[in-house]
């Protein structure tokens, strides 16, 4: 007689059905060589949960024994016949249980060992595999190496030389949330930024250290390095989820991580052309469904007698900006979430498509993925901007005892949008709003997880599921009737150090959630069936007791009956699922004595062991509780401290930046102000100097003007004098005419006397002489008069030039050096004018002399005449000299004007600069004012921070 036993490991379900009976021992249903390889499987089966109770198997040949007892945890040490070693009882930590746990073939073991070695070596950058029992350093990249079977066998034995089969019914309750960490390879962009610098170091298959300040170690159920393939990851996380759903539970796998960390790669991957050749890089979702449909087929074949049938209904939705839309029906949008006592939480109006095979599912996946919102950010060229949830409802029906039974399990595969810092992901506008919405829903997810951890620690908490659509929809998966696997994706590059730390913390917190999975089976029907079955067993026992009343003492039998009833009651749930055939009432009926004896002996052993295990379990659970409480408390404190530290660091960074910015701004502004002030001072000085010079030159010009006016007056006087002289000359002429007429008369009256009066002829001669001289003098005086007129015109021009010069001087601001030259020229000019004045004075003096000359009536003064003519000649000469001097002065003036023009041009530049600087000061002041306004409008916190940073800055700069 044979039956089947499903051996389930914690994370890698063996899924192996072991056919057995009391004679043949244990063998694998589908694997004829399983029995002979069983001892070697020690290295592969790390830990398994046997969900079927009351199985007592013996394999004397291989000394292999699996014993379980109903509802109780039990670890049994098994000998390793091939190695001749006794294996010890060993209870691993929960995280260790997930590693290594691969099955089915020695090659699996080899692959596993190779991976284990790779992982343990990955952080040191070298790859080790075993050669002839020794670890050999390999310089070639591990991913490209093919490890031979012989190479790895030795390593496999050394790494996991124990076989443990541990019955652990509490496992599913304790570990309904499994957290896996996956690091992707460093991307090209990251290499371009910071090379191969890493922010994490993998310690082993379940622990990783973050290499920041302070270095922090995190442990998870499994840590997948970048060398772990899609297939290997699936084998760890996929099968338990699928089998859990097929058994009527809900399962949820979700990928979490910063944008570009590999969530979509993990969940969907590269499906490729599935019809031709499944792609190696296809992700969790395609593989889950391949496995699901394979298992469905196997189950339907195995349960043909119960007419078992499975149905899969699929839907695919996305949550974008807190709105749900159907990825299989893109026209629908903003679908509402509803809650129903029978249906649970569901999305109203979501299309559900029945899938018959993997191809159908892939078609739906690709259709939905094409409708998903993606956009390019700095971190990822094809960043998913929404959370996507692919749901498959697996419904199974079978007939048993003329009753139709059914189970419903729900499998959720969630690809979350990337958690990101808006700053680092380079998003703006629409992208910024998306990022804010993504971050809000992810932070709500974080809060929900925190509260669930608190609840798991016995605290009262209100879980804010409804704060975001994501958490509302995943309510059952996170806190209720579900087994959940969280795959936290990270980048190992130092570029993403802070994002990686936040993902590690999130994942660490999530590890402390506990769910309460409930099989989605028709409970009333099961309860009814169980009761009937138990009643049958009780009746059977009563009948047996009656039959054997004579052989066994009544008291003993009643004890046995009671014990058996208790046992049966305690194992009723498990019986319904797996063990009916094993302890069927028919078997009891056919061999009652043997069964009773066996039961009695086994009961004693069981009781003893149960007591032992019970006490151990109590101790263990107490210890676990204490440990968990303290770990949780520690974790919370550490998390809070980390959050606070990060906040502190970021605010310190901000403060420093602000200080630096402020300092730089202040310095720049101070420098600018100093420059401006300096320039202003220079300009003021220059202006002042120029003004002083201008005032001086004005004064001098005034003095010159007054002296010129004096000169003019003197000239006028001289002109007056010359007029007088002319009058006198006229008078002299008149006198001469009179004399001439007198002489004529004398000549006419006394021709006879001519010979006797020699004085008269002399007089005549003299008169003639005088007349000629007078005519000449007259001509000279006229010339002099002309020259005076010209001189006056020149003087008027000179005055005009002076006016112009004064004007120019008023308008222009002269530079110091140039103004000195101008001053020199002005002095020269002044000197020249003075000289002119002197010369004019001299002319005046001479005019006076001329003025004082008078012809006395009837007298002829030769000497005076000579003197006059000399004076007139001298005057003429001086006038000529004056003309030359005036010409020179004109040239000087022209030069001065040119210099002034240059100076004005030179002055215009600094004035424009000055205006520019003033404008800059004004804008700078405006900037200050706007800064003030900004700082006033910031939050109180911001104000306080700004105030602190300012005071720190003040302290720092000692202002
Ligand atoms: N384990 C891996 N091995 C190789 N390449 C990977 C791995 N994980 C991710 N990648 C690559 O990194 C890039 C970004 O990955 P992916 O798009 O999956 O990130 P994401 O987390 O989904 O980002 P987002 O949240 O922005 O959508 C892709 O080109 C992907 O092929």
Dist CA 805 CA 736 (whole Å)? 52
Q: Is the CB of 417 within 6 Å of ligand 1?
A: yes
Report the separation in Å between the CA atom of 266 and the middle of ligand 1, taken as the mean of its atom positions.
8
Mutate to test the pocket of ligand 1, among 255, 262, 424 (most ligand atoms within 8 A of CB): 262
- Residue 751 confidence (pLDDT): 57
Q: What is the DSSP string of 375-397?
A: E--SS-TTEE-SEEEEEEEEEEE
Mutate to test the pocket of ligand 1, among 202, 258, 264 (most ligand atoms within 8 A of CB): 264
Q: Is the CB of 259 within 6 Å of ligand 1?
A: yes
What Rg, from alpha-carbon coordinates, does the chain have?
A: 59
Question: Is residue 412 within 8 Å of 515, Cβ to Cβ?
Answer: no
Question: Is residue 28 within 8 Å of 17, Cβ to Cβ?
Answer: yes
Tokens 């690809």 belong to 415
Residues 6+ apart with CB under 8 A from 521: 248, 405, 406, 407
Q: Is the CB of 383 within 6 Å of ligand 1?
A: yes
Question: Is residue 56 within 8 Å of 67, Cβ to Cβ?
Answer: yes
Q: Is the CB of 477 within 6 Å of ligand 1?
A: no
Report the separation in Å between the CA atom of 261 and the middle of ligand 1, taken as the mean of its atom positions.
5
Neighbours of 792 (CB within 10 A): 14
Report the separation in Å between the CA atom of 262 and the middle of ligand 1, taken as the mean of its atom positions.
3
Question: Is residue 585 within 8 Å of 629, Cβ to Cβ?
Answer: no
Longest CA–CA separation in the chain, Å = 229
Residue 446 counted as an annotated binding residue: no
Tokens of 273: 């052309």
Q: Is the CB of 185 within 6 Å of ligand 1?
A: yes
Q: Is the CB of 262 within 6 Å of ligand 1?
A: yes
Mutate to test the pocket of ligand 1, among 119, 265, 378 (most ligand atoms within 8 A of CB): 265
Helix, strand, coil: what percent of the chain each, to 5? 60, 15, 25
Residue 259 counted as an annotated binding residue: yes
The length of the chain in residues reads 959
Q: Helix axis angle, 862-937 relative to 592-749, nearest 10°?
A: 170
SS (H, E, C) 851-906: HHCCCCCCCCCHHHHHHHHHHHHHHHHHHHHHHHHHHHHHHHHHHHHHHHHHHHHH
Pairing state of beta strands 250-257 and 483-490?
A: parallel
Q: Name which residue sits closest to atom 7 of ligand 1, judged by CA.
A: 184
Tokens of 800: 């005009």
Report the separation in Å between the CA atom of 255 and the middle of ligand 1, taken as the mean of its atom positions.
11
- Residue 490 confidence (pLDDT): 93
Beta-carbon-side half-sphere exposure of residue 607 (alpha carbons within 13 Å): 10
Dist CA 704 CA 720 (whole Å)? 23
- Residue 826 confidence (pLDDT): 63
Note the helical H segments in 43-143.
94-97, 106-122
Q: Name which residue sits closest to atom 3 of ligand 1, judged by CA.
A: 184
Sign of torsion over alpha carbons 706, 707, 709, 714: positive
- pTM, full prediction: 0.44
Residue 264 counted as an annotated binding residue: yes
Tokens 């949780």 belong to 632
Buried b (16+ CB within 10 A) or exposed e, 453-474: bbbbbeeeeebebebbbbbbbb
The structural domains of the chain, with segments of one domain joined by +, span 526-646, 676-752+759-918
- Residue 429 confidence (pLDDT): 62
Report the separation in Å between the CA atom of 184 and the middle of ligand 1, taken as the mean of its atom positions.
7
Beta-carbon-side half-sphere exposure of residue 153 (alpha carbons within 13 Å): 9
Q: Is the CB of 508 within 6 Å of ligand 1?
A: no
Dist CA 88 CA 65 (whole Å)? 14
436-443 long-range Cβ contacts below 8 angstroms, 24+ apart: 437/320, 437/321, 437/322, 438/385, 438/387, 440/322, 440/468, 441/319, 441/322, 441/387, 441/468, 441/469, 441/470, 441/471, 442/256, 442/416, 442/417, 442/470
Q: Is the CB of 232 within 6 Å of ligand 1?
A: no
The ligand 1 atom at the shortest distance from the C-alpha of residue 384 is 27
Q: What is the DSSP string of 482-518?
A: -EEEEEEEE--BGGGHHHHHHHHHHHHHHTT------
Report the separation in Å between the CA atom of 260 and the middle of ligand 1, taken as the mean of its atom positions.
5
Tokens of 858: 């009837």
Residue (of 868, 874, 682) closest to 773 by Cα position: 868
Strands, E assignment, 323-452: 323-326, 337-340, 344-347, 353-355, 374-375, 383-384, 387-400, 403-415
Q: Is the CB of 283 within 6 Å of ligand 1?
A: no
Tokens of 393: 């409802």
**Mean pLDDT per 10-residue run, the chain (959 residues)?**
35 34 37 40 33 32 34 35 34 31 32 34 30 30 33 31 33 66 90 88 85 86 86 85 84 87 88 75 89 90 87 90 87 86 83 89 85 62 76 88 84 81 52 73 81 77 86 79 85 89 86 54 44 60 57 44 48 40 40 62 73 73 73 72 75 79 82 81 80 84 84 81 78 77 71 52 70 78 79 74 66 53 66 69 63 50 70 76 78 78 72 68 61 50 53 49
Q: Is the CB of 47 within 6 Å of ligand 1?
A: no
Report the separation in Å between the CA atom of 411 and the middle of ligand 1, taken as the mean of its atom positions.
23
Q: What is the DSSP string of 902-932?
A: HHHHHHHHHHHHHHHHHHHHHHHHHHHHHHH
Residue 663 counted as an annotated binding residue: no
Residue 871 counted as an annotated binding residue: no
- Residue 24 confidence (pLDDT): 36
The ligand 1 atom at the shortest distance from the C-alpha of residue 418 is 25
Residues 6+ apart with CB under 8 A from 816: 686, 689
Q: Is the CB of 258 within 6 Å of ligand 1?
A: no
Dist CA 560 CA 603 (whole Å)? 9
Dist CA 365 CA 387 (whole Å)? 14
Helix (H, G, I), strand (E, B) or coil at 408: strand
Tokens of 956: 């720092």
DSSP 412: E
Report the separation in Å between the CA atom of 496 and the middle of ligand 1, taken as the mean of its atom positions.
14
Note the helical H segments in 21-70.
34-37
What is the phi/psi pair of residue 128, to 5°? -120, 135
């Amino acid at each position: 007689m044979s039956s089947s036993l499903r051996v389930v490991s914690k994370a890698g379900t063996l899924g192996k059905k072991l056919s057995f009976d009391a004679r043949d021992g244990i063998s694998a249903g589908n694997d004829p060589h399983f029995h002979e390889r069983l001892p070697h499987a020690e290295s592969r089966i790390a830990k398994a949960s046997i969900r079927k109770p009351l199985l007592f198997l013996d394999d004397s040949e291989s000394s292999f024994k699996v014993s379980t007892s109903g509802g109780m945890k039990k670890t049994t040490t098994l000998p390793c016949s091939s190695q001749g070693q006794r294996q010890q009882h060993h209870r691993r930590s929960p995280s260790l249980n997930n590693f290594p746990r691969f099955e089915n073939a020695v090659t699996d073991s080899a692959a596993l060992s190779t991976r284990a070695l790779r992982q343990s070596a990955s952080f040191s950058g070298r790859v080790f595999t075993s050669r002839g029992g020794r670890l050999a350093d390999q310089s070639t990249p591990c991913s490209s190496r093919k490890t031979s079977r012989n190479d790895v066998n030795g390593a496999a034995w050394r790494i996991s030389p124990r076989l443990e089969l541990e019955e652990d019914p509490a496992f599913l309750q304790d570990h309904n949330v499994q957290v896996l960490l996956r690091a992707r390879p460093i991307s090209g962009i990251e290499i371009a930024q910071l090379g191969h610098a890493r922010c994490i170091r993998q310690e082993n298959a379940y622990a990783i250290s973050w290499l920041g300040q302070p270095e922090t170690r995190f442990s998870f159920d499994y840590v997948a390095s970048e060398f772990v393939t899609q297939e290997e990851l699936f084998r760890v996380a996929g099968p338990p989820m699928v089998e859990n759903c097929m058994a009527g539970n809900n399962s949820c796998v979700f990928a979490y991580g910063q944008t570009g960390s590999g969530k979509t790669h993990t969940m969907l991957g590269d499906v490729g052309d599935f019809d031709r050749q499944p792609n190696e890089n296809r992700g969790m979702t395609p593989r889950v469904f391949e496995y699901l449909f394979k298992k469905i087929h196997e189950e339907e074949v195995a349960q043909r007698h119960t007419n078992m049938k499975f149905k899969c209904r699929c839907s695919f939705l996305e949550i974008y900006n807190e709105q749900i839309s159907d990825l299989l029906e893109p026209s629908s949008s903003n679908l509402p979430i509803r809650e129903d006592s029978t249906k649970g939480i569901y999305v109203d109006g979501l299309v559900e498509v029945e899938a018959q095979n993997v191809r159908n599912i892939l078609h739906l996946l690709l259709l939905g993925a094409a409708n998903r919102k993606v956009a390019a950010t700095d971190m990822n060229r094809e960043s998913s901007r929404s959370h996507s949830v692919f749901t498959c409802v697996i419904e199974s029906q079978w007939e048993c005892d003329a009753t139709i039974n059914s189970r419903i399990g729900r499998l959720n595969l969630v690809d979350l949008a990337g958690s990101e810092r808006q700053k680092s992901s380079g998003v703006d506008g629409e992208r910024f709003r998306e990022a804010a919405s993504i971050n809000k829903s992810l932070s709500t997810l974080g809060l929900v997880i925190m509260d669930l951890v608190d609840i798991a620690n016995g605290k009262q908490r209100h879980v804010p599921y409804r704060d975001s659509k994501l958490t509302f929809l995943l309510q059952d998966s996170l806190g209720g009737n579900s087994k959940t696997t969280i795959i936290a994706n990270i980048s190992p590059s130092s570029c993403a150090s802070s994002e990686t730390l936040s993902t590690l913390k999130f994942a660490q917190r999530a590890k402390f959630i506990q769910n309460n999975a409930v099989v989605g089976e028709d409970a009333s029907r099961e309860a009814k069936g169980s009761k009937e079955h138990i009643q049958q067993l009780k009746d059977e026992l009563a009948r047996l007791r009656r039959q054997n009343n004579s052989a066994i003492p009544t008291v003993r039998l009643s004890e046995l009956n009671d014990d058996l009833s208790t046992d049966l009651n305690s194992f009723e749930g498990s019986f319904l699922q797996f063990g009916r055939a094993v302890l069927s009432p028919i078997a009891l009926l056919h061999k009652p004595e043997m069964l009773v004896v066996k039961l009695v002996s086994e009961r004693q052993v069981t009781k003893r062991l149960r007591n032992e295990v019970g006490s151990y379990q109590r101790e263990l659970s107490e210890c676990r509780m204490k440990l968990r409480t303290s770990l949780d408390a520690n974790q919370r404190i550490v998390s809070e401290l980390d959050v606070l530290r990060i906040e502190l660091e970021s605010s310190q960074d901000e403060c420093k930046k602000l200080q630096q910015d402020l300092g730089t701004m202040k310095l720049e502004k101070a420098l600018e102000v100093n420059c401006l002030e300096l320039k202003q001072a220079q300009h003021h000085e220059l202006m002042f100097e120029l003004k002083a010079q201008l005032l001086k030159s004005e004064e001098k010009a005034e003095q010159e003007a007054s002296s010129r006016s004096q000169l003019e007056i003197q000239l006028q006087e001289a002109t007056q004098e010359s007029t007088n002289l002319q009058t006198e000359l006229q008078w002299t002429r008149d006198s001469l005419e009179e004399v001439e007429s007198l002489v004529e008369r004398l000549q006419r009256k006394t021709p006879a006397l001519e010979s006797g009066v020699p004085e008269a002829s002399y007089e005549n001669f003299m008169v003639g002489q005088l007349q000629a001289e007078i005519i000449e003098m007259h001509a000279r005086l006229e010339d002099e008069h002309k020259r005076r007129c010209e001189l006056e015109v020149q003087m008027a021009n000179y005055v005009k030039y002076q006016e112009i010069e004064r004007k120019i001087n008023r308008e222009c601001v002269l530079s110091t050096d140039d103004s000195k030259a101008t001053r020199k020229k002005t002095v020269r000019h002044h000197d020249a004018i003075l000289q002119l004045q002197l010369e004019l004075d001299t002319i005046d003096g001479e005019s006076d002399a001329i003025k004082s000359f008078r012809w006395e009536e009837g007298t002829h003064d030769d000497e005076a005449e000579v003197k006059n003519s000399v004076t007139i000649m001298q005057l003429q000469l001086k006038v000529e000299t004056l003309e030359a001097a005036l010409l020179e002065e004109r040239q000087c003036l022209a030069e001065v004007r040119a210099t002034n023009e240059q100076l004005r041009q030179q002055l215009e530049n600094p004035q424009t600069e000055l205006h520019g600087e003033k404008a800059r000061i004004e804008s700078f002041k405006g900037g200050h004012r706007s800064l003030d306004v900004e700082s006033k409008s910031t939050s109180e916190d911001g104000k306080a921070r700004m105030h602190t940073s300012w005071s720190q800055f003040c302290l720092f700069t000692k202002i």
